Amino acid sequence: MTAPFGRRGLTRLAAGIAVVTVAASACSSSSKSSSGGSSGSSASSGSTAASEPNKASAPGITADTITIGSHQPLTGIAAPGYSEIAPSANAYFQWVNDHGGVNGRKIVYKYEDDAYNPANTTAVVRKQVLEDQVFAIFTGLGTATHLAVRDFLNTNKIPDLFVASGCLCWADAAKYPYTFGSQTDYTIEGKIQGQFIDKTYAGKKIGYFYQNDDFGQDGLKGLDSQISASSVVTKQPYTVTNINVGPQIAALQQAGAQVVVSYSVPPFTALALLAAQKLNYHPQWVVSNVGADPTTLTGMLSSYSKGAAGGSLLEGNVSDSYLPPPDDVGNPWIQLFRQVHDKYVPTLPFDGNVQFGMTFAYTFVQTMLAAGKNPTRQSVVDALQKSHFTGPGLVPFRFSPTDHGGYSGEQMNQLTNGKIQTIGPPQVTDGGSGPITPYTTAQPAPPPNGIPTS
C-alpha cells in the first residue's frame, strides 16, 4: 500500500482545483463590452495651419500619432463600473481623431487589464513604456496598483497623467515631478462635507462608516477638521474583504447616530444601505463621491437584494461632486459627452464613470495642445504646471510647480425625486488647514465641436 495520497492523486487534485478556479474566474468577469484601439479609418486632417511641421518629438509621438497607455481593472473585483472608464476616454479620443486629431496627430490609446492587482500593473506598465514606447500613462486606475509603478514612471521620466484615485500621494510634486492627480483628494472632500454637515445638521449625532485604508482615513482627516469631536458618536471601519457590514450598522444605530457619513466604495455603500433597511434604521446618509453614483448603486441594490430593494433607498442621500451631475441634461458638457457616448460607446450606461473617462480625455487634449506643436515629455509637465484649465469640471485644478493634486474642491448635492440636485456653489480648499471658500466662477461652455482649441 502506498501513501494514501500518492503523486498521481496529488496531480489530479491540483489539476481539479486549478480547473475550478479557472471556471470561477471566467464567470466573474465583467460582461461589459468595450472596444480597444483607435478608430483608424477616419479622414486624415489637413486643418493644421501652423508653420512648424510635425516631428517625432518624443517617444510615443510621431508626425501623425500620439500613443499613450494605461492600466485598468477590466476584469476582477474592481471591474464593475470602473471598466467603463477607459472605453469612454477612448470614445472621446475617437471623437477628437475623427475631427482632425490634436495638431493633426491622432491619439492611440492602449489600455490594458491589470485586474486591480499591483503585480500585474508593474508588468503591464513596463510593457507599455519599454516595449510599446508610449508617450505617457493616462488615468492609471487605483491607489495600490498605481503606487507599484510610480517610482518606475518617475525614474524613467514618463508623464504619469491624471491617476484615477483620490489618494493624497499624487500631489507630491517635489518627489514625483511626473505624476499628476485627477479627482479631488479625499481630505479636501472630507473638509467640504464636514463643513456642510456641521452647518446643516448642527446638534445632531453623527456617526462615521468608513473603509479602513487611505481612502477612509484621509476622508476622516478632513471630516474631523470641521465637525466638533463631541457630536461624533461612533466611527465604524470596514475592510473590503468582509462583506458583512451588519455589525457596524447596528453599532451606528445603537449609538443613536442621526447622520451617517459613509466613506465607502459603491458595493459597500449598497451593503450598508441594505443592512440599515433591515434594521429599520433610517439616518441621513452623506456618502463620499466615489461611492455615491446613483446609476451604479441602483444596480447593486437591486442585485444584492435579489430585486427586493432598489434606487428608492438612495432618496435623500447627500453627496458631492467636482463634475456636473450626469443626469443634468441641461448642462452643455453633459450634452457633449452624451453625444460622444451615443456615437461610440452606446452600450455603456451613461454614468459617473463614463463622465470621468471623458472629462480627463478632454483634459489630456487640453494638455497636449498647451505643450506645443511638437510636445516633449518635459513640455507636457511644464504645461500642466502652468495650466489653468477650465472645462468639464466645476472647480479648478490645483496643478502648480509645487502641487500636482487634481481638482481642488466639490459641490454638495442631494438625490431628490431620483435626480441629483446641487446644493449651493462649489467649494474649494486645500488639503491642509486652509479656509474653505465658495468658487463662484461659472462653468464655461464647451467649444462648438467639443474639442479644446488651445
Partner 1 sequence: MVSGGHEEGVVTDAPGGRVDTAPAPTGDASPPRPGPPLGAALTVGVVALALALAIGVALASHHGPLVPWTITVIGGLLAVGASVGWLTLPANPLLRHLAVAGVAGLLLLLFSDHVSAFSDFQIAQVAYYVPAAAGLTLLVGWNGQLSLGHGALMAIGAYTVAVLMAHNPTFPVIALILAAVVVTGLAGAVIGVAAARLRGPYLAGATLALAVALPELATRYSGTLGGAQGLPVRPLGVPTWLSETFPAERWLAWVGIVSGLVVLVLLANLMRSGIGRRLRTVRDDEVAASLAGVNVARTQVMAFVVSAACAGLAGALYGFATSLANPAAFSLILSLSLVTAIVIGGLGSLAGAVLGATALVFVPRLTTNVSNRFKLDTSVKGNLPLAVYGLLLVLAMLTFPDGIVGGLRRLARFVTPRHRSPPAGSAGTAPSTSAPAATAPTTSAAAATAPAGDVQGPPAG
Residues that bind partner 1 (CB under 8 A): 1-15, 17-19, 21-23, 25-26, 29-34, 36-37, 74-76, 79, 83, 112-113, 115-119, 121-123, 126-127, 130-131, 143-144, 147-149, 151-152, 155, 212-214, 239-241
User: Closer CB to partner 1, residue 20 or residue 445?
Assistant: 20
End-to-end alpha-carbon separation of the chain, Å?
81
Of 150, 120, 148, 119, the residue nearest 137 (C-alpha): 150
User: Closer CB to partner 1, residue 118 or residue 372?
Assistant: 118
Provide the 10 A C-beta neighbour count for residue 428: 24
User: Is 281 exposed, middle or buried (CB count within 10 Å of its CB: 0-12, 13-18, 19+)?
Assistant: middle
For 296, phi and psi rounded to 5 degrees? Answer: -60, -45
Residues 6+ apart with CB under 8 A from 134: 59, 60, 67, 68, 69, 110, 128, 158
Q: How far is the CB of 119 from partner 1 (least distance, A)?
A: 4
Question: Is residue 30 within 8 Å of residue 78, measured between CB atoms?
Answer: no
User: Closer CB to partner 1, residue 14 or residue 63?
Assistant: 14
User: Closer CB to partner 1, residue 244 or residue 417?
Assistant: 244
User: Closer CB to partner 1, residue 30 or residue 234?
Assistant: 30
User: Closer CB to partner 1, residue 214 or residue 327?
Assistant: 214
**Strands ordered across the beta sheet of 136-138:** 106-113, 65-72, 136-138, 160-163, 179-181
User: Closer CB to partner 1, residue 117 or residue 367?
Assistant: 117
Q: How far is the CB of 143 from partner 1 (least distance, A)?
A: 6
Q: How far is the CB of 194 from partner 1 (least distance, A)?
A: 23
Provide the 10 A C-beta neighbour count for residue 142: 22
Question: Is residue 207 within 8 Å of residue 249, measured between CB atoms?
Answer: no
Q: How far is the CB of 113 from partner 1 (least distance, A)?
A: 5
Provide the 10 A C-beta neighbour count for residue 286: 26
β-pairing, 419-428 with 259-263? Answer: unpaired
Question: Is residue 372 within 8 Å of residue 379, measured between CB atoms?
Answer: yes
Q: How far is the CB of 395 from partner 1 (least distance, A)?
A: 26
User: Closer CB to partner 1, residue 42 or residue 75?
Assistant: 75
Q: What is the Cα–Cα distance from 389 to 371, expressed in whole angstroms?
A: 13
Which amino acid is located at 408 in the chain? Answer: S
Of 84, 93, 109, the residue nearest 31 (C-alpha): 84
User: Closer CB to partner 1, residue 34 or residue 97?
Assistant: 34
